Chain A
């Protein structure tokens, strides 16, 4: 996982818990990484999950609640940092459709060592007999080379 996500998580926690509680929470995590996270760096996924787990413990939120809140925070921050990925889209649907392309091409372009996930979208549409249109996103296991 790229350092930018760690930085965003740190920023999210910092804003919601305050600097002191945030520092305590980080120190309470047993992380493989010793030095501070920097955006261009790459870090083990376990470290991120350790921070999330510790957050759930500290805040008493459920894990989905915590991840959802982080996601909401994240998307705006990413939109600010990488406008070309978002500007072209008017709705979520068209954006979601570009996820794979974005990760594969752009992320890899910037970070050759990145291992982006593959997003598989299964669409059920009203036109095909469903009562609503929904996207079900599945994350392919990391490390699978996606073409």
Chain B
């Protein structure tokens, strides 16, 4: 191929290529045009689409943040060229470069992926709105973000709705949780429980986690196939009574209600489960109660009927019987007014009264009254009616309970008659008692008095012995009578205490003093200890306290053959001004078996029926004591074992003395404080008592239980340079007795210097001469009175006795005997023995008395003696014709005219307090209980003598 041909070929090929390319270009140009047209159409379409979007749509240049495209929601109308995104996006109107708010565009550029942010911005109206903003990057071929689409959705409403929904849900949950009813939700298809409230957990007894997810059928074992029927979707609620199976296997009766609900597109069942236990119980109770009341209603003997304003509604069988009706229908057909007579026994109109009573019942809640009803047969009868208003099923009704009281009325009348008769009988009994007392005392008075007189005469020793026997028997009889009288008074509740101020320690010491002789006769040691804290002055009945103590101590003597009887008084915590004292009388006697402890205080009872014969006595002493203790606000009890002795305890309450402050010397005696003393006594109780007394005076005290021990202690004290300044020595000790001890002490110079107070049992004063020989400073009889001991110690140690002691020993001035004989006395006494006795007593003491046999005679004698009037009238209360009260009244009447006043002293065997009051009320000046004791008679006369005889001035002064 030559070059030319090659060239030609080349040109031809090039021309051909040009032609092909021209065609291609034409083709391409046409298709480009079409593509351009299509593009424009598409852009327009896209712009329309964007424009109609309901939310803000912006396309932003990723590099310079210019807005490239926006829709109408983002901004209405054209935007100036180069507007940056932040000016358009509200809430972001700050430069995109602001570092404090990282521009989302930059964030998307950095991350290279779409971003969704939420933020709140304020709208033009100032409300905050929430937006969800989508930033979608547009990449170039190289993967660079070149543009950004921001699509913002206003979610304010959505958020609000969501919040409202959450709140609503919370509220619903709270409501469900607080329900007293159990609520359970389960899937209608699978029956799996999806939710429960706490009440369900409580009912089932399992935590929520265990219940949720379980099949609900398991909890309702009785439901069975019915369950499927219950669970038909769309069906309204169904309710059933069934049992809920608890985890522990027990069943709870429940009311179950099922309501279908749709949850999350699935059909569910909401079950409410109400615990029916209480209601079921209540219903049972109600049924039982109704049955009970119905039975009571029907079986009542009272007629019970129910009425409203129209008439009877209901009645019981007793109603029909009471009014004489055969059937209820018969009764219901009557008018309530038919069953009452037109007028009541008091003359009031029945109809009118019924209305008033009804109104009263409605007003006061009930009305109770007596009424006269009429039976069908016309018979009238008395009833007691109780009207009770009640409201049943919204209607006001009245229940009328009618009781036939015909027989009760009769019984009441009978009872009243019986009571009156009993009261009369009781009065008669009291009167009888007083008479008996008088009738018995009077002759005994004669016996004792006359015997005393007899014994004052010259008698052979045999006669004297017999006379002594008579006196002792009479005195014993008097004790028995006093006991019986006291007991009778207690039975008749006529025993009264006579409270006065008295000195407690003295009173107790007096009792012990009178009993000391009996103790020493029997060879018993009688000791007494009164706690230092015990008050000295108290208010109470010393006579009765004395009676109790004599009873208990006497009892102790009676049942104790050897050993001791210890009396102690302790103080219990005080209440206000009152002193609570605890007395104990302990003996070492035969004791009382425990089963008899309760009965010893019963009347006519001793430890053993046979002992009554062995030990004698009425057996009333403890009963009387027990009653007296009760009256003193205390109690009495015994602690004892056979063979181990007995301790009788009693407590009693005493008031504070009305006189005010106690006159007792201060307990801590300054003169005695610290004085070294040794107490020598073999008896432990006695030792303790003495120590307590000494220590209450702050004395420095040691004790020894035998003579040898005492000598040792004395020597030791001497060696230690603290010798004893005083020794209290019991005379009666085993081995070395008191006298032996003193002799041994005197034999030694140092020991011999200690002053000695000797304590002897009652009736052992015989060796006083020997004592004086030995230089014993003082003798005291056991049991030792605290005041006597104090005096003895004071005297022995040469300390001035206390002022108090002096006053105590001084006696009231007694008018000289010769003057007394000039008294003119009238004795009004009907009993000849007593006349003689009293006159003899008076004569023996130098008085002459005029005797009057009864009240009339006494008044006559008083009138006759006008010239030289009587100084004193001894007036027996119970006399024939005119008694002592009348006679006194007559004398006082006569005196009124004369302006004089004769001293009248009542003599009475009625030893009751009311008698004394009666005497004083009758105008008498004093009172002496029979049998008359010489001492009391003389004391009474002395009192009158002081007034009656014009005493010299000096004597008046001495008395003051």
Taking Cβ atoms with an 8 Å cutoff, the residues of A that contact B are 19-20, 23-24, 35-36, 38, 40-41, 88, 101, 105-106
Contact = CB atoms under 8 A, between A and B. Distances in A.
Given A19-B6, A41-B20, A88 B142 contact: yes
B500 interface: no
Interface stretch (B9-17, B123-131, B153-161, B382-390): B9-17
A20 B6 contact: yes
B960 interface: no
A24 B16 CA distance: 19
Contact of B141 (A38, A40, A101): A101
Interface of B: 1, 6, 9-10, 13, 16-17, 20-21, 24, 28, 141-142
Contacts of B9: 23
A114 to B, nearest CB: 14
A40 B16 contact: no
B21 A38 contact: yes
Contacts of A35: 16, 20
Given A23-B6, A41-B20, A41-B24, A36 B1 contact: no
A40 B23 CA distance: 11
Contacts of A106: 141
Nearest to A106: B141
Contacts of A41: 20, 24
B30 to A, nearest CB: 14
Given A19-B6, A20-B6, A36 B142 contact: no
Given A20-B6, A101-B141, A36 B13 contact: yes
A36 B15 CA distance: 10
B20 A20 contact: no
A40 B21 contact: yes
Nearest to A24: B1
B20 A105 contact: no
A20 B7 CA distance: 10
A40 B10 CA distance: 20
18 contacts: A20-B1, A23-B1, A24-B1, A35-B16, A35-B20, A36-B13, A36-B16, A36-B17, A38-B20, A38-B24, A40-B21, A40-B24, A40-B28, A41-B20, A41-B24, A88-B142, A101-B141, A106-B141
Contacts of A88: 142
A18 B225 CA distance: 101
Nearest to A21: B1
A88 B142 CA distance: 10
A83 to B, nearest CB: 14
A105 B1 contact: no
A105 B24 contact: no
B36 to A, nearest CB: 15
A84 B24 CA distance: 25
B6 A36 contact: no
Nearest to A105: B141
B533 to A, nearest CB: 109
A65 to B, nearest CB: 27
Nearest to A40: B24
Nearest to B19: A35
Given A23-B1, A24-B1, A36-B13, 15 more contacts: A19-B6, A19-B10, A20-B6, A23-B6, A23-B9, A35-B16, A36-B16, A38-B21, A38-B24, A40-B24, A40-B28, A41-B24, A88-B142, A101-B141, A106-B141
Residue from A20, A38, A41, A101 having most chain B Cβ neighbours under 10 A: A38
A19 B10 CA distance: 10
Given A19-B6, A20-B6, A23-B9, A36 B20 contact: yes
Nearest to A37: B17
Contacts of A20: 1, 6
A105 B142 CA distance: 11
A64 B16 CA distance: 33
A19 B13 CA distance: 13
Nearest to A109: B141
